[in-house]
Amino acid sequence: MILIAVVDDDPGDASSLISHVDSYFKTNGIPHLIHRFSDGLDFIRSTENHDIVFMDIRMGSLDGLDTARFMRKINRDSVLIFVTNMGQFAIKGYEVDALDFIIKPATLANITYVLDKAMRRLHDNSNTVLPLRTVEGMVSLSTNDILYVEVLDHNLIYHIADGREYTIRGRISDIAKKLDERNFVLCNRSFIVNLRHVSSITTDTLTIGNTQISISKSHRKELMQRFSSFLGDSL
């Protein structure tokens, strides 16, 4: 699940931007959640840890640059994209590690270009290479591509986003120690899931792609808390 913030005090500009961003992620089949903030103060008071932030430069009491400076004091990882009708100020974005900027009004083509860059940045920042010794030989696996890991008859089955599966001998407790606990969580004694790929969750099941996985009672509370924290307490 990719979390996106749109920080803009102009309702029309924000609505248009959100529409294009939503279209991009739906077209690419990427689970996502978009939060809209009406100004910088509204944004910095939030508790969400967004993956991508679209920030208008010119806003009311707290402009986009000052908002971004505050954000960077507590969050160095969000991919920041400035949205402005004042291109001369965009160069200042380098002070706060902005990935890029787009000139208003935003178009789908511009949004597609910057989001392609943003997704590459996110992939590079969060990715860990996991070596697997399979019966066919050694495999170098990106943890970002793992949907979930299933244990079956003392085997670990890695389910990958492109449909591949890899099976190795092992215990789920061993692999849980190797995976980033911010993204991976146990939902029962046989499954560990990548929260980035979870599209929905209920009391008893969660959904990844077309697969539904049961949530055991013993793991329900932690899973709900972790997923809520992952989304920034937005559930």
**Domains defined along the chain, listed by start:** 2-126 (3.40.50.2300), 129-230 (2.40.50.1020)
Euclidean distance between CA atoms 99 and 78, whole angstroms: 10
DSSP assignment letter at 210: T
Of 4-18, 168-182, 220-234, the range with the highest mean pLDDT is 4-18
Lowest mean per-residue pLDDT among 38-42, 129-133, 203-207:
129-133
| Mean per-residue pLDDT, 88-98 | 66
Euclidean distance between CA atoms 4 and 22, whole angstroms: 10
Whether omega before 105 lies within 30 degrees of 0, making that bond cis, reads yes
Confidence of residue 234 (pLDDT cuts 50, 70, 90): very low
Specify the amino acid at residue 125. Answer: N
The pLDDT of residue 87 is 59
Euclidean distance between CA atoms 70 and 80, whole angstroms: 13
What secondary structure does DSSP assign to 152-209, as a single string? ETTEEEEEETTS-EEEEE--HHHHHHHS-TTTEEEEETTEEEEGGGEEEE-SSEEEET
Coil, helix or strand at residue 75 = coil
The pLDDT of residue 76 is 75
Q: Write out pLDDT tens, residues 6-35.
A: 999 889 999 999 999 999 999 988 888 999
Q: Is the pLDDT assigned to residue 120 strictly greater than 70? A: yes
Q: Write out pLDDT tens, residues 136-155.
A: 788 878 888 899 999 998 89
